[in-house]
């Protein structure tokens, strides 16, 4: 890849970010998130001031931030879905897809720049929300809320967000915005159910009493990234709990299943008539 191609790809990633920064949706999300975090900070201070030293011990900065961490994780999934879908659909809506493809980049490169740009945007929001929470909650409890385990969890959730964006991108190629959004959440729920159902089973038990639903769940478990395991790992690291996963095997499955999603996405974008 020559310097011109690298510059073009960087420009496309930057364009993805700038395009969404100009959207009213992103402004609303940032304002709403900031207000929500300040409200949580105010409620925490009120609780501590009303109940004295006992509440200050029970509601430590780290414990409060752990609760906020869970909420931010859920909210980030919604935001990742929104921007993962809009990253390409807005190109069709504004009819600028043809201009982008006139650049010296392939459709595969176009796909990666949109996915990476969306991830940088959503993960930047995620870091903003989390660090603002950590700062405010530290002041409220007079303790340092951010810990090393939280930082590791943040990194793991970055991977989770990346996978949600890939799934959103795939659905944006085959469905309209609202339908794609519903499909993303349906997929996340189905993956969650599948992960919980098969996690504690042995390989022999996978194939016992096979029915339509079990076969479907097994296919989901085998072919799609195990999103639940990433969130469970992030939670276990954050709370310093035992990790009940075969990390080597799960990392291999994650690589293979993620590559499969990208291959499907690449095939779809190359087959589209635009």
Q: List Cβ neighbours of 228 (8 Å cut-off, separation of 6 or more).
A: 191, 192, 195, 196, 199
pTM above 0.75, yes or no: yes
Quote the crossing angle between the two packed helices 247-271 and 107-141, to the nearest 10°.
130
**Six-digit token string for 165:** 């964006």
Cα gap 256→227, rounded to integer Å: 14
Rg (CA), the chain: 21
Q: How confident is the model at residue 38 (pLDDT cuts 50, 70, 90)?
A: confident
Q: What angle do CA 92, 95, 100 make, to 5 degrees?
A: 85
pLDDT the model gives residue 223: 92
Pair of tokens at residue 234: 């992030």
User: What would the pLDDT profile of 172-184 be if each residue is shown by its tens digit?
Assistant: 988 888 899 999 9
From 134-143, 211-220, 248-257, the region with the lowest mean pLDDT: 134-143
Alpha helices in 2-146 (DSSP H): 3-21, 24-58, 61-93, 97-101, 107-141
User: For residues 99 and 272, is the Cβ–Cβ distance under 8 A?
Assistant: no
Q: Tell me: the pLDDT tens digits for 137-182?
A: 777 666 666 677 778 888 888 999 999 999 999 999 888 888 999 9
């Amino acid at each position: 890849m020559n310097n011109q191609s690298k510059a073009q790809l960087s420009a496309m990633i930057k364009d993805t970010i700038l395009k969404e920064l100009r959207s009213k949706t992103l402004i609303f999300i940032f304002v709403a998130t900031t207000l929500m975090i300040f409200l949580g900070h105010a409620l925490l201070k009120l609780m501590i001031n009303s109940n004295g030293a006992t509440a200050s011990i029970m509601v430590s900065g780290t414990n409060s931030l752990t609760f906020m961490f869970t909420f931010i994780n859920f909210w980030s999934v919604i935001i990742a879905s929104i921007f993962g879908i809009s990253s390409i659909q807005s190109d069709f809506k504004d009819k600028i897809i043809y201009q982008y493809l006139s650049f010296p980049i392939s459709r595969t490169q176009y796909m990666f720049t949109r996915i990476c740009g969306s991830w940088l945007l959503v993960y930047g929001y995620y870091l903003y929300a989390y660090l603002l929470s950590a700062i405010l909650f530290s002041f409220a409890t007079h303790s340092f809320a951010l810990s090393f385990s939280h930082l590791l969890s943040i990194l793991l959730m970055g991977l989770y967000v990346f996978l949600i964006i890939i799934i959103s991108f795939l659905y944006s190629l085959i469905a309209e915005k609202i339908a794609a959004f519903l499909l993303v959440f349906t997929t996340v729920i189905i993956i969650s159910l599948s992960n919980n159902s098969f996690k504690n089973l042995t390989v022999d038990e996978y194939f016992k009493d096979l029915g339509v639903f079990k076969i479907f769940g097994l296919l989901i478990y085998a072919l799609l990234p195990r999103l639940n395991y990433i969130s469970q790992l992030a939670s276990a690291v954050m709370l310093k709990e035992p990790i009940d996963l075969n990390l080597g095997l799960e990392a291999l499955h994650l690589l293979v299943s993620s590559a499969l999603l990208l291959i499907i996405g690449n095939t779809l974008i190359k087959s589209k008539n635009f």
